[in-house]
Amino acid sequence: MARAISAAENDPPVVQAFLREHSQRLGRARIVGITGPPGAGKSTLTGCLAAELVNRGFSLGLLLVDPSSPFTGGAILGDRLRLPDIAQHPQVFVRSMSSRGSMGGLSKATSDAVKLLDAFGMDFVLIETVGTGQAETDIVSVADSVIVVAVPGLGDDIQALKAGILEIADLFVVNKADREGAEKTERELLHMLKMQPSSSGWTIPVIRTVATKNEGIGELANKLLAHYEFLRESGLLLRQRVARAEQELKDLLRSRMMQEFERLMGPALYRDLAQEIVAGEQSLYDTADKLWQQFLVRITQKGGSASD
Amino acid sequence: MARAISAAENDPPVVQAFLREHSQRLGRARIVGITGPPGAGKSTLTGCLAAELVNRGFSLGLLLVDPSSPFTGGAILGDRLRLPDIAQHPQVFVRSMSSRGSMGGLSKATSDAVKLLDAFGMDFVLIETVGTGQAETDIVSVADSVIVVAVPGLGDDIQALKAGILEIADLFVVNKADREGAEKTERELLHMLKMQPSSSGWTIPVIRTVATKNEGIGELANKLLAHYEFLRESGLLLRQRVARAEQELKDLLRSRMMQEFERLMGPALYRDLAQEIVAGEQSLYDTADKLWQQFLVRITQKGGSASD
């Protein structure tokens, strides 16, 4: 399995071939995203939650998505070492991945790794995203349930969480709840949820945990299972997954089209044309029109390739 | 001009027609992105910088990019009211835009609005992005110079800034520099810059400002002009702009291809196929292959459209 998931990063065609063959085995795993600001104790919490789920008899895969930022790499890899012994458990598979997505978000490799863990029969896939930015909100595009981890005492952090991250939570955790200000943080979250309740009919819970003492983890697991049941019974799980498949299909087609385009038109093309555009010799839109017409002529003459 | 920029949000073809016609007028404006965490005083700072540049004889356009998040909308619109009288100046054009980009980043409408302001002969276009997330780092794809605004006393905020935002700064501002902790924040930034110096040869400055008292704004303007000179003389400005045009060309082609695809294949297609994929009846990759082959057959039979 480790080799298969490395392949997701290094040899996508091998993974694609595998997933083509095992498409009927997909869709059984419950996919959980765990996100929040740096310093919230996400790694410890993720480790505890993984242990709790394993103790309840579930198998699981754990993906740690690192931002590729050279500034933060060191500190965050250090964090990883704090992950509990759970990684040693035979029912648990842990893998760190970089988040080198083309749009700054979760990479195709992460999404493929999730599918591999699903195909291998894992009951749960936990994805922990590190750092701030797009990876945190993009977790929605992969996960069935999203846990957003907040902590007391980070000052303006509830404020900082607001844009984008609050909206994606299916469950809130106030971790380090033995710290001063935990009640205040919980109250603020509950207040916000009251102002802007979930439109799906699911009541977003706020769960207090102290991951370092394994406190509150049982309740978190209960709520997580309850959320999955809610998704299944309400039909939302199916709708979310169809929407996800639709998006993946579009993404695949888009990259397939660009591949064919480069194959027929030559890769050096863009740079030359971009120089003409910057020099004011051509407009962007006219250039795009001309390229498209040329592509149509070539594809009609030569035909598309039958496969990759 | 106001109508033209509204059109960028509401009627892209009109804008494209205008930009097609005036492509020779593009590329003169200096495009400046201003970003940073909520509460850093970006609006006031942007207003002061705009006033300083106008006093030096430059014309400018000011784009305020709001995140579309319903949670934050209210508070941020309130912020806007603090913008100084600069908006009344005849040489200044101010416009608020939502950041409803398809990937959570800066929207095509924002990029078109920048181009319109450029075509209209503005010397500067200042783009202020609000909130955390992708819009902040995506500013790089539009701006020649990026100003990242930090403030003392936000606790872990330098830490929170790290992933993604620090890397994009051409200039750092420590705003509210009359507050306790300003020196510490400045020192931390300088330390980080020492550890990870800019690879371009530009020395990233850290400038202390108190925007509410208009302090430090002159120096900020000087450094901003110096950065533009550096970009021009080093050839980096041209390289950045060619890379940007290349990306825009690819984006246009990609959306053109998808348009043609939907035109020839019918829009309801994806949903039906996605349902089959989720049901395990088809693999994602096989489905994408089949769709591509069908597309090739149709495009060869019917031909592509000559224009939009």
Give tens-digit pLDDT for A132-189.
Answer: 555 566 777 889 999 999 888 765 555 556 556 777 899 999 999 999 889 988 988 8
Q: Provide the pLDDT for residue A70.
A: 31
Task: Kindly state whether residues B99 and B217 are assigned to the same domain.
Answer: yes
Query: End of a domain among A234, A261, A292?
Result: A234
Q: Which of A18, A132, A248, A287 is the best mutation test for B, with the most CBs of B within 10 A? A: A132
B 227-286 → A contacts, CB under 8 A: 238, 241-246, 248-250, 252-254, 256-258, 260-261, 270-271, 273-275, 277-278, 280, 282-286
Task: Kindly state whether residues A226 and A249 are assigned to the same domain.
Answer: no
For A155-174, letters b (16+ CB in 10 Å) and e give ebbbbbbbbbbbbbbbbbbb
Find chain A residues with C-beta within 8 A of B196's C-beta.
Answer: 70-71
Cα B227 from chain centre: 18
Q: Which residue has the higher pLDDT, B213 or B197?
A: B213
Q: What is the pTM of this model?
A: 0.67
- The CA distances from residue A151 to A88, A154, A157, A180, in Å, are 28, 7, 8, 10
Q: Stretch B225-253: mean pLDDT, rounded?
A: 92
Instruction: For residue range A64-119, list pLDDT tens digits in order.
Output: 876 543 322 222 332 333 445 555 565 566 666 655 444 444 667 788 888 888 98
Task: Kindly state whether residues A229 and A123 are assigned to the same domain.
Answer: yes
- B37 touching chain A per CB within 8 A: yes
Residue type for position A130: V
Q: CA A212, CA B176: separation in Å to the nearest integer?
A: 37
Is residue A239 assigned to a domain? no
- What value does the mean pLDDT of chain B take? 79
Find chain A residues with C-beta within 8 A of B303's C-beta.
Answer: 296, 300
Classify residue B213 as exposed, middle or buried by CB count within 10 Å of its CB (0-12, 13-18, 19+): exposed
Model confidence at B152, pLDDT cuts 50, 70, 90, reads confident
Report the length, in residues, of chain A.
308
Put simply, the answer to whether B245 touches A303 (Cβ < 8 Å) is: no
Task: Kindly state whether residues A259 and A110 are assigned to the same domain.
Answer: no
pLDDT reading at B255 higher than 60: yes
Put simply, the answer to whether A156 touches B38 (Cβ < 8 Å) is: yes
Q: Which two tokens stand for residue B126?
A: 């200042």
Structural domain of A279: 244-302
Q: CA A87, CA A129: separation in Å to the nearest integer?
A: 17
Asked if B147 and B170 touch (Cβ cutoff 8 Å), the reply is yes
Measure B197 CA to nearest chain A CA, in Å: 11
Instruction: For residue range A260-300, list pLDDT tens digits in order.
Output: 888 888 767 888 899 999 888 888 888 998 888 888 888 77
Percent residues over pLDDT 70 in chain B: 74
A 152-211 → B contacts, CB under 8 A: 154-157, 159-160, 162-167, 192, 196
Is residue B241 assigned to a domain? no
Task: Kindly state whether residues A164 and A227 are assigned to the same domain.
Answer: yes
Q: What is the separation, in whole angstroms, between the first and last Cα of chain A?
A: 25
Asked if B189 and B150 touch (Cβ cutoff 8 Å), the reply is yes
Asked if A182 and A67 touch (Cβ cutoff 8 Å), the reply is no
Task: Kindly state whether residues B227 and B270 are assigned to the same domain.
Answer: no
Asked if A212 and A44 touch (Cβ cutoff 8 Å), the reply is yes
Task: Kindly state whether residues A195 and A228 are assigned to the same domain.
Answer: yes
Across the strands, what pairs with A215? Answer: A210
Which CATH number is A54's domain given? 3.40.50.300
Task: Work out how many domains chain B is built from and give that number.
Answer: 2
Put simply, the answer to whether B104 touches A138 (Cβ < 8 Å) is: yes
Asked if B143 and B176 touch (Cβ cutoff 8 Å), the reply is no
pLDDT reading at B161 higher than 80: no
Q: Which residues contact B286 (CB under 8 A, 6 or more apart)?
A: A20, A23
**Sign (positive or negative) of CA dihedral A283, A287, A293, A294:** positive
H or E stretch covering B124:
strand B124-129
Cα A10 from chain centre: 19
Asked if A147 and A50 touch (Cβ cutoff 8 Å), the reply is no
Asked if B147 and B171 touch (Cβ cutoff 8 Å), the reply is yes
